[in-house]
């Protein structure tokens, strides 16, 4: 499967047997110890002869789900698409996903796809792809990513779990984020939200959208104890008809207990203020006054609650 895409992977699921899934899972579980799992180790774990394991592995290689070591010892590892298949299989235990429509965004850390359930309901899949060249160049600037044993796959799984946790927390306290449904390895399944990135739209009421955005960020800070840490016009979605907003892309979030939390909050606010000033010519004083008003409201509420 040379030109494999996520829509191709989901179509493979009915063609695989338990023995195929078992091998893929063993390869994933072996990541912390092996870059390529030796054939004799696999044979022992599978409780079958190496010759039988080799035939099954070759089938998975032909499908693009496994990669073989070309030099030195005979070994095998999970491919990117093999990890995708395991994740999609887990997602389908929660929602009967029928198809993956298209990829709507490619970022430094993840790809975003639209998919559909058997009843036609749309969903969003966020698939982390840590390890791409573009991300390696900026990894040192991220406050929460550290290389650890188990390769970039392990980091992608950890990042997805971390963002799912924060989205669940934010959704639970009423912050405007896409509703997270399930975490599966390096993927998060979310409800579809009908919005476009802030920088792609021309707002009829920019001051209202600005106020709503600030409201959500400040609510996350004082009510949820969470700072976005990477806020910009690229991770605020807006529905142009209803003027609803959603704040997306939270993998760099920090708790307010972090010593630099207030500094990251200030940077987030400044980034949004600069955008609305630049594109809509709104005055700095007016924008900062809104920030201060909203901040006082939530600060007072947090003091009363404590």
**For the chain, what are the domain ranges?**
6-80, 94-191, 196-305
Question: Is the confidence at residue 106, as pLDDT, over 50?
Answer: yes
Contact 115, 26 (CB under 8 A): no
Token pair 């404590």: residue: 306
Contact 221, 265 (CB under 8 A): yes
d(CA 301, CA 295): 10
pLDDT score at 132: 59
- Which range is most confident: 23-27, 127-131, 142-146? 23-27
d(CA 163, CA 169): 10
Q: Please, what is the angle between helix 50-62 and helix 18-29, to 10°?
A: 90
Enter the pTM of the model.
Answer: 0.89
- Which range is most confident: 97-101, 106-110, 268-272? 268-272
The stretch 8-24 carries a mean pLDDT of 94
Of 99 and 260, the one with more pLDDT? 260
* Vertex 134: Cα angle to 233 and 148 (nearest 5): 110
Task: Give percent of the chain with pLDDT exceeding 70.
Answer: 92
pLDDT score at 134: 45
Dihedral pair phi/psi, residue 111, rounded to 5°: -105, 145
Retrieve residue 135's tokens: 């991300």
Q: How far separated are the first and last CA of the chain, in Å rounded?
A: 57
What CATH number matches the domain at 6-80, 1.10.20.10, 1.10.10.10, 3.40.50.2000, 3.30.565.10?
1.10.10.10
pLDDT score at 147: 44
Token pair 């400040």: residue: 218
Pick the catalytic residue: 230, 249, 268, 300? 230
Question: Is the confidence at residue 1, as pLDDT, over 60?
Answer: no
The stretch 62-77 carries a mean pLDDT of 94
Dihedral pair phi/psi, residue 3, rounded to 5°: -100, 50
pLDDT in tens, 203-225: 999 999 999 999 999 999 999 99
Contact 260, 268 (CB under 8 A): no
pLDDT score at 148: 45
pLDDT in tens, 142-155: 444 444 435 789 99
d(CA 159, CA 205): 35
Token pair 């998975």: residue: 60
d(CA 228, CA 263): 11
Question: Is the confidence at residue 138, as pLDDT, over 50?
Answer: no
Is 230 among the residues known to form the active site? yes
d(CA 213, CA 211): 5
Q: Is 191 helix (H, G, I), strand (E, B) or coil?
A: strand
Average pLDDT value for the chain: 90
Question: Is the confidence at residue 238, as pLDDT, over 50?
Answer: yes
The class (CATH top level) of 94-191 is: alpha beta
pLDDT score at 171: 98
Answer yes or no: same fold for 6-80 and 196-305: no
d(CA 49, CA 242): 62
Least confident of 14-28, 101-115, 138-152, 283-297: 138-152
State the fold for domain 196-305: Transferase(Phosphotransferase); domain 1 (1.10.510)
Question: Is the confidence at residue 2, as pLDDT, over 50?
Answer: no
Dihedral pair phi/psi, residue 140, rounded to 5°: -65, -20
Question: Is the confidence at residue 131, as pLDDT, over 50?
Answer: yes
| 222 half-sphere exposure, CB direction, 13 A CA radius | 18
């Amino acid at each position: 499967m040379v030109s494999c895409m996520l829509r191709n992977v989901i179509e493979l699921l009915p063609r695989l047997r338990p023995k195929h899934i078992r091998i893929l899972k063993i390869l994933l579980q072996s990541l912390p110890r092996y870059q390529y799992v030796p054939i004799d180790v696999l044979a022992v774990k599978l409780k079958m002869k190496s010759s039988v394991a080799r035939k099954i592995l070759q089938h998975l290689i032909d499908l693009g789900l496994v990669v073989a070591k070309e030099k030195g010892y005979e070994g095998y590892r999970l491919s990117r698409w093999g990890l995708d298949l395991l994740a999609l299989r887990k997602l389908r235990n929660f929602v009967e996903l029928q198809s993956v429509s298209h990829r709507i965004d490619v970022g430094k850390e993840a790809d975003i796809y639209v998919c559909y359930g058997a009843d036609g309901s749309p969903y969003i899949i966020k698939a982390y792809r840590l390890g791409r060249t573009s991300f390696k160049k900026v990894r040192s600037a991220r406050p929460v990513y550290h290389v650890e044993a188990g390769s970039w796959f392990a980091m992608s799984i950890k990042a997805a779990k971390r963002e799912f946790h924060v989205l669940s927390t934010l959704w639970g306290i009423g912050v405007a984020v896409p509703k997270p449904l399930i975490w599966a390895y390096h993927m998060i399944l979310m409800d579809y939200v009908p919005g476009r990135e802030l920088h792609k739209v021309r707002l009829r009421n920019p001051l209202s959208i600005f106020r709503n955005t600030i409201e959500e960020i400040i609510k996350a800070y004082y009510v949820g104890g969470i700072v976005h840490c990477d806020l910009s016009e690229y991770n605020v979605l807006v529905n142009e008809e209803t003027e609803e907003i959603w704040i997306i892309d939270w993998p760099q979030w920090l708790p307010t207990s972090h010593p630099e939390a207030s500094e990251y909050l200030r940077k987030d606010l400044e980034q949004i203020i600069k955008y609305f000033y630049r594109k809509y010519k709104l005055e700095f004083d007016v924008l900062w006054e809104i920030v201060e008003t909203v901040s006082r409201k939530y600060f007072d509420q947090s003091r009363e609650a404590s």
